[in-house]
Structure 1
């Protein structure tokens, strides 16, 4: 079977399992709803106010933490027997590509749903919504690529969940700062050209991470 056919088959398998079990979907929905409600109560429960800068930071903190929770399950929640089965039935390249595609779609949908819910409950302070949506999609893709590779690394150890948290922190924090910075221009309604450089950096990180994942994962998988 070719790499493309293997990847498509594995992506279909990921979505079939998710729609059948709905563990990740339910967990993400509960997390988003709970986090946004807590933010609403903390800032508006007693007649408080929320600045645009705080709105931006809260949104991305919630999205990043939800992304870590969702992406970590791609490898860490699978049993070793399933990994053993994949070892003989599919190529390492198809496995990592299927995980990347699945997490990419999942995190983009999750982020857009989170944005809609956040605007509905916390109010909409974004002046250039199309640009903010584009930033959200690109940022979610960058998070998906980065966190999927980290999950693949962590899954090879005995203390995988601990290692996932340790490895994610130094990688996610710079991405979070970059996403908050580039989103500010869309919130303030500034010229879109001001965000192009940061968007190019995010796209470069995404492409490089996918390439590195595809090259290095076969060596991890053999071990």
Structure 2
């Protein structure tokens, strides 16, 4: 995690490029929409933007590692330590980007959220889910001759049910009536998927590591 943090600080143009991408995308939405979108459209646009932000932020984590660097990491760290560090770092980075996106959405596209606290918790949960999924997909794609297209091919069937659940769950924060039972049920389902992806990454990555 320290290594990835130092690399992000050293290559600040990449980090600021992602920030510019988020700000520019949301500003274009602001200019292209004549009026403030209703809550349903606002919610859908937000999660679509989060998907693209994650692809630009997290999916590159393994593709930017050369074979020589991977061989060096192989000699100093275990595969479990390596993949857990990557997962945690990408989760933290994605949570930062998700929080910034939500703030810019509130500024440019108004705030249709009735329960801001609950919605922000959903945003953090969703950012974690998307980040874990694309980190695992990036690890698999990196072992296939650095084929970035595999991230989209492998990630789409996995991320689609998560996005649908997140959109459905986030409606709880948008509505005036807050149903705690449905909120907890859907949150538990998403957390279960997160745990499943995390466990799969820890189990499968050592086999990729030896390749």
| Counterpart mapping for 1:99-178 below 5 A | 99-178=86-165
Instruction: Provide the rounded CA distance (Å) in 2 between the counterparts of 1:108 and 1:192.
Output: 25
Instruction: Provide the rounded CA distance (Å) in 1 between the counterparts of 2:14 and 2:197.
Output: 23
Query: Does structure 1 residue 181 correspond to structure 2 residue 181?
Result: no
1:34-76 CA-to-partner distances (Å, cap 9, x unmatched) read 11011111113xxx34111000000110011111221111101
**Matched residue, 2:6:** 16
Q: Which residue of the other structure, out of 40, 57, 67, is the alignment partner of 1:53?
A: 40
Instruction: Provide the rounded CA distance (Å) in 1 between the counterparts of 2:56 and 2:127.
Output: 13
Q: 1:80 to 1:23 in 2, by over 3 A?
A: farther
* Structure 1 residue 205, shift from structure 2 partner: 0.7
**Matched residue, 2:73:** 86
Instruction: Provide the rounded CA distance (Å) in 1 between the counterparts of 2:78 and 2:146.
Output: 25
Q: 1:157 to 1:106 in 2, by over 3 A?
A: same
Q: Which residue of the other structure, out of 153, 168, 183, is the alignment partner of 1:195?
A: 183
TM-score (normalised: structure 1): 0.90
Q: 1:97 to 1:159 in 2, by over 3 A?
A: closer
Moved more, 150-159 or 188-197: 188-197
**Matched residue, 2:203:** 215
Moved more, 164-173 or 50-59: 164-173
Corresponding residue pairs, total: 210
* Structure 1 residue 167, shift from structure 2 partner: 1.1
**Matched residue, 1:41:** 31
SS of 1:145 mapped into structure 2: helix
SS of 2:96 mapped into structure 1: helix
**Matched residue, 1:7:** none
* Structure 1 residue 148, shift from structure 2 partner: 0.7
Q: Gapped runs of 5+ residues in structure 1? A: 1-10
1:12-44 CA-to-partner distances (Å, cap 9, x unmatched) read 111111011124422321211111011111113
Q: CA RMSD in A?
A: 1.2
Q: Gapped runs of 5+ residues in structure 2? A: none
Instruction: Provide the rounded CA distance (Å) in 1 between the counterparts of 2:169 and 2:157.
Output: 19
**Matched residue, 1:62:** 49
